[in-house]
Homo-oligomer: A and B are copies of this chain.
Amino acid sequence: MSENFPTIFSITEDEIDLNDLLAKITLTSTGAAAIFAGMVRGETKRGDAHQTEYLEYEAYIPMAEAKMKQVADEIRARWESIEGIAIVQRIGKLYPKTPTVLIACTAAHRDTGVFEAARYGIDRLKEIVPIWKKEVGPNGEEWVEGEYIPKAGE
């Protein structure tokens, strides 16, 4: 069965279309979707409070797509209820309020892990998928660096 479940992963410079992506991972047996979307913050208050004019995203595209596939496989291994999965990262120069990343998981019912799966997906994307962003603001530019060091086999 699960071989018929749709898995979408892509790195794109185009707008992220939530309606379209949700439709693509909705099957006749689907009743619930949990979607995480990340947007460019123009104003950050936590930590070093600062303003952002735009983010410039860069990806190691073929590896990023392979790692997105891996994140989807990990989700399916942990939550067998999951039907469709979409993982999309937009790259390029992106301004505040723009959606930059989407992780969506669908299932028959909402109480079978769909929220947890989406949360897991965005956490893992930020750990292992080779994408970086440079933040450009009124005080110059700075690369944002993650903290996670992948382990062998990741």
Instruction: Give the number of copies in the complex.
Output: 2
Q: Is A37 an interface residue (CB 8 A)?
A: yes
**B34 with A38: CB separation less than 8 A:** no
A115 interface hit (Cβ, 8 Å):
yes
A110: min CB distance to chain B, Å: 6
* B37 with A22: CB separation less than 8 A: yes
User: Which DSSP category, helix, strand, loop or mixed, fits chain A's interface?
Assistant: mixed
Q: Are B28 and A42 in contact (CB under 8 A)?
A: yes
Q: Does A109 contact B (CB under 8 A)?
A: yes
Contact: B31 with A34, CB < 8 Å? no
> Interface with B: A6-14, A43-51, A135-143, which one?
A43-51
Is residue A70 within 8 Å, beta carbon to beta carbon, of the partner chain?
A: no
